[in-house]
Structure 1
């Protein structure tokens, strides 16, 4: 199936569903076959050069998140689990020389990729695609001995499918049910990426999508956890594992109802009160979702990016320090404010991160992931003077990333700052050099400067890599933990 025929079919379906008289719950039977054909044909559909460049940046950013995350508690816990479970030596657990099955490696690396708040995010779908798509693609790439060019294609397709499923679920409507679009969309993204590298045909892709639908899970209760372990598993590890599992089942001949998005009791209607099925194929083959995905400048939760940037700009413009601030008011769109309001986890606690920034003049990776209960009293005192307001006037439809910041100083000044977006978003992207510098900051303390530079160079030339297993030596820590250095089993 050519890219032109996929684009035409997708546009016809989008037009049909989007008409005013269309019933949004009547989902055309052609949707799943179009998605399946797109995934099955991916290796024959060359990516535009600008998409290749963007894919390399997101792959490097996610690899760096995996490496740094492998030394945080979620990564350490999941590595111990995989070591105990064993499995055939097929794919590497990042941050060690441990080899296990593709499904367990995807679980471990996906968990490490979201062990903190360094990974990418896609606002329109409410997903963090990289932490599931890239680990699933890497595990399947190792299982199949895939080359770097195929790996790039698979990652781009994974973002395309996973983000479209997230959008089709209508994230704001979905969140009211308690389900998490972050894990649900990621499961399908991981499945699509793995399916490309497994070279499934269209029928097998349909089966894999069906088994992804059956495994898709995730509820928002993880926001109550003090540690990042459950969140890392739900957003990264579990979707990556489930996507690889679905593909391996289809590859083994497990058939199924290969139309999970159509008919009675379909996936979209089961989960979302107000699904948008047209989003599954809108712009498919023409608009690449990886180009609409943000790379974080700061290693903190996505809704904190704009307030932090606004605060740093205000401090620089007015020569402020922590002692100057009497009160700080931060206004965010309602949905995003709820995500970061006085949370237990420090890297998704807006009040803590802004207080940290005011006291230290920066927010490093180490600062953002420290135990905030061990912080000094000046930060705690400043936190109490920072108010977060869920502002209904800041409409998500205008920009989900906007922020209004007001500072009241002790000398009587009222200062204001408004940002519509922030650095790292598709409309204001980080440069290649900034993405590479971020990777150096995250990875060098774990794998060393030399290996970090080798990894960066390898990603620059990823389309020339003959076998993804060639990257394994670059992911091993400087001083290998002897308890985890042997193969599983």
Structure 2
């Protein structure tokens, strides 16, 4: 008998794990991630890009099977997954796995929610599917992590690991929820690999296409699972084969051990980092460092120069080109700016330390923030390099107008295992995101349903109240 392929390993795991096999920490984490993802999607409904995604999705037609946030009429499963995925990733507020540096829930949760409605699944089936899909997504992402360079090979090639690996994990989640056999899950992975995509040049120089990536990955996930269900097949060697996923994306063999070691016994899901701030995760330590200066009583007018030391790998995203990062013209560009993150911290952010209103177009162009950002250099820091990518650290050196030098070190990332967010803090984030769009009662009911997700008998009851959000503005 030949050894099983990597896809067969994953399929055996996915088909064999029952809800009862899931550790309590995994079940609890899934409920928090659904709540977090829906809150982000709700807050994103009034973006122009969200309106564009909804308009395109509603033009496609098809059998109404699933609800999407901000869309009154039910949509085909893949279209509902697309809309929810776009919204879930559009604010850069979604969770992050380290050190793979991908955002698993923004694809897997929308794909699983659509599949659950499509197949009439209950809460226990949904939780099981999300847990398995997140685990598959993370493990494939880790197979592309290079321990020597301490960076994602996907990222080095300009690829968006979030949407590429998310399509694979989301497809497995959808297949599991649909009751697929082990063989059909292998086919689903084989099909999804031909649909996985995403490049990240927009992080550097602008454009909103990145907001679409998780939506398209979730759409691909539903499509792959559906095509496998109807008889399309995929190669069992889809991951490690000569012309497979790893060769195509990584241009080298993936680290198979990251996929198979501890599969089913060691779960990555509870250790995925929640985002307390609505910006690229590389900027979060800068927000904290800026806030630390403010808490010392240092005002922006007291600053002569700021040097933000970060891992060298982060420079391309939050520090280059420095002229662009010092002068973001939109709130979206500000979410990828190290200098702007310092401004958020120094001027005092809302929410858990920075809130959506801190990343408006108006504030990105505000004279006082521009004046502070002009004083910021973003440089590589060796100490940060040694910690990255297990954390996203920063070391801030501030030279003040009186000649004093102050150093603030932020070496762990808030929202991760070392500085976790509690269910109450995730709920507070959800309330801040949802409150402008929903009544206090509806916000409380949705949080309660996510907290008791395994007990739901109809997933549609979770999403139906969200279909009218934002529709009055379109």
Using the size of structure 1 for normalisation, the TM-score is 0.88
Q: Where does residue 454 of structure 1 map in the other structure?
A: 445
Does 1:137 find its partner at 2:117? no
State the 1:323 CA deviation.
Answer: 1.2
State the 1:201 CA deviation.
Answer: 0.3
Q: Where does residue 386 of structure 1 map in the other structure?
A: 376
State the 1:192 CA deviation.
Answer: 1.4
Distance (whole Å) between structure 1 residues aligned to residue 385 and residue 20 of structure 2: 37
- Structure 1 residues 465 and 361, CA gap change in structure 2 (3 angstroms): closer
Q: Where does residue 286 of structure 2 map in the other structure?
A: 307
CA RMSD, 1 decimal: 2.1
State the 1:44 CA deviation.
Answer: 5.4
Q: What are the ranges of 5 or more consecutive residues in structure 2 without an aligned counterpart?
A: 146-150
Does 1:474 find its partner at 2:474? no
State the 1:390 CA deviation.
Answer: 2.2
Residue of structure 1 aligned with 2:35, choices 51, 60, 67: 60
Q: Partner of 2:169: helix, strand, or coil?
A: helix
Does 1:365 find its partner at 2:345? no
Distance (whole Å) between structure 1 residues aligned to residue 144 and residue 64 of structure 2: 37
Contact 2:95 2:275 in 1 (8 A): yes
Q: Partner of 1:97: helix, strand, or coil?
A: strand
Contact 1:43 1:196 in 2 (8 A): no
State the 1:74 CA deviation.
Answer: 2.1
State the 1:356 CA deviation.
Answer: 3.5
Does 1:118 find its partner at 2:96? no
Contact 2:19 2:127 in 1 (8 A): no
- Structure 1 residues 305 and 482, CA gap change in structure 2 (3 angstroms): closer
Deviations 1:237-292 (A, max 9, x none): 11111111100001112123233123321211221144212211222111212112
Distance (whole Å) between structure 1 residues aligned to residue 104 and residue 178 of structure 2: 20
- Structure 1 residues 304 and 78, CA gap change in structure 2 (3 angstroms): same
Q: Where does residue 392 of structure 2 map in the other structure?
A: 401
State the 1:468 CA deviation.
Answer: 0.6
Q: Partner of 2:197: helix, strand, or coil?
A: coil
Residue of structure 2 aligned with 1:83, choices 58, 70, 75: 58
Does 1:176 find its partner at 2:156? yes
Deviations 1:427-472 (A, max 9, x none): 2110111100000000111223221111001111111100111223
Contact 1:165 1:185 in 2 (8 A): yes
Q: Where does residue 255 of structure 2 map in the other structure?
A: 276
Does 1:441 find its partner at 2:432? yes
Q: Where does residue 187 of structure 1 map in the other structure?
A: 167
Deviations 1:132-172 (A, max 9, x none): 00000000011011111111111111110001111112253
Residue of structure 1 aligned with 2:276, choices 275, 297, 302: 297
Contact 2:290 2:341 in 1 (8 A): no
Q: What are the ranges of 5 or more consecutive residues in structure 1 without an aligned counterpart?
A: 1-26, 484-489
Contact 2:32 2:426 in 1 (8 A): yes
Contact 2:15 2:182 in 1 (8 A): yes
Contact 2:143 2:255 in 1 (8 A): yes
State the 1:350 CA deviation.
Answer: 1.7
Residue of structure 2 aligned with 1:424, choices 394, 412, 415: 415
Q: Where does residue 348 of structure 1 map in the other structure?
A: 336
Contact 2:6 2:239 in 1 (8 A): yes
Distance (whole Å) between structure 2 residues aligned to residue 347 and residue 456 of structure 1: 27
Q: Partner of 1:395: helix, strand, or coil?
A: helix
Contact 2:67 2:467 in 1 (8 A): no
Q: Which moved more, 1:454-463 or 1:371-380?
A: 371-380
Q: How does 1:140-219 map to 2 (within 5 A)?
A: 140-170=115-145, 172-219=152-199
Q: Partner of 2:379: helix, strand, or coil?
A: strand
State the 1:30 CA deviation.
Answer: 3.3
Using the size of structure 2 for normalisation, the TM-score is 0.91
Residues paired across the two proteins, number: 454
Residue of structure 1 aligned with 2:215, choices 212, 234, 237: 237
